[in-house]
Structure 1
Amino acid sequence: MIRFINEHRDRYGVELICRVLKPAVQGFLTSRGYRAALARTPSARRLRDELLVPEVARLHAENYGVYGRRKMHALMRRQGW
C-alpha cells in the first residue's frame, strides 16, 4: 500500500487516498500511519530480501527459467543462502 500511495499521492493527496481506501481495505493505514511507515528504518527481513531477490532472479535465469520452487530452494541452499 505504501508504494501505491507514493505513486498516486501527487495527483490525489495522501489524506484523500487513505480516507477512500480505509473502508475498502481491512486494516488500511491512516495518513498518520503512512508517514510513520515512511520514517521507519527498514526491517532485517526487508534488508535480506533486497539481497536475495537479485540473486534468485540471476540463478533462475542461469537455469533457463525452468526451475520451480523446490529446485530453486535446493540451489539456493547449495549456494550458501
Structure 2
Amino acid sequence: MKVAYIDQHKNLFDVQPICDVHAETDTPIAPSTYYTAHTRPPSAHSRRDEHLTEEIHRIHTDNYGVYGARTVHAALVRDGKETARCTVERLMPRAGLRGVIRAKSPRTTKPAPETDQPADLVERQLTATAPNQLWVADITYIKTFSGWVYTAFLWNL
C-alpha cells in the first residue's frame, strides 16, 4: 500500500522526500524497501491467487455470472482444485465478481394485533342501485425485471 502511494506521487516529489516524511510517522519506509519491492518476484501465495482468480473468473463467466462464492468453490473442488471457501470469498470481490442476490418478496401485511384494519363499510353487499353509489379498491404487486411494481384497482359499481 505504501509502495502504491509512492508510485502515485514519485513524479511530483521523488522517492527520498516521500520516505523522509513517512519516517516521521508510525509507518516508516526506507527507499531501499521501496526499490526492493519492485524488483522482488511475486510470492507463491500471490501467484496462486492470480491463478485461482483466473479459474474463478472462468467459472463465473461460464455460468452467466450468477454463481456466488459457495457455488464457485464447489465448482473448483469438482474440477480438482482444492482451495478454501474463504479464499474464494476473498478473491471474488477483488476481481469485481459477485453472485446474483435473490430478492425477497415484499412484505404486504403486518400481523401485529395493533395494526388497524379498515372497516367493511358495505358489509359485503357489493350491489349498487345507481351509479356512483359504491366504489371498491384493491392493491397488488407484480415482480418485474426492474423490481416490484404496485398496482391499484378501483371499481365503480
Question: Shared fold (TM-score greater than 0.5)?
Answer: yes
Q: Could you say if the C-alpha distance between residues 65 and 41 of structure 1 is closer, same or farther in structure 2, counting changes exceeding 3 Å? A: same
Provide the residue aligned with 2:42 in structure 1.
Answer: 42
Q: State the structure with more CA Rg.
A: 2
Q: Which has the higher strand share?
A: 2
Q: Which residue of 2 aligns with 1:79?
A: 79
Which is helix-richer, 1 or 2? 1
The 5 Å alignment of 1:2-81 reads: 2-19=3-20, 23=25, 27=27, 29-81=29-81
2:55 maps to a residue whose letter is E
| Cα distance between partner residues in 2 of 1:54 and 1:5 | 28
Query: Quick check: 52-61 or 4-13, which moved more?
Result: 4-13
- With normalisation by structure 1, the TM-score equals 0.69
Which ranges in structure 1 are unaligned for 5 or more consecutive residues? none
Matched residue pairs, number?
A: 79
Percent identity reads 39
Change (3 A) 1:32 1:79: same
Supply the distance in 1 between the matched residues of 2:65 and 2:28 (Cα, whole angstroms). 36
Tell me which moved more, 4-13 or 41-50. 4-13
Question: Which stretch shifts more, 66-75 or 4-13?
Answer: 4-13
TM-fit CA distance, 1:34:
1.4
Distance 1:58 1:73 in 2: 12
Aligned equivalents of 1:53, 1:66: Cα separation in 2: 16
Deviation at 1:12, TM superposition (A): 3.7
Q: Distance in 2 between matches of 1:9 and 1:52?
A: 32
1:5-55 deviations in Å (ceiling 9; x for gaps): 3344334433344455674xx646443321121222211111112212122
Task: Say if 1:48 and 1:32 are closer, same or farther in 2 by CA, change over 3 A.
Answer: same
Name the stretch that deviates more: 28-37 or 68-77: 28-37
Instruction: Give secondary structure in 2 for the equivalent of 1:53.
Output: helix
Give distance in 1, aligned partners of 2:31 and 2:72: 39
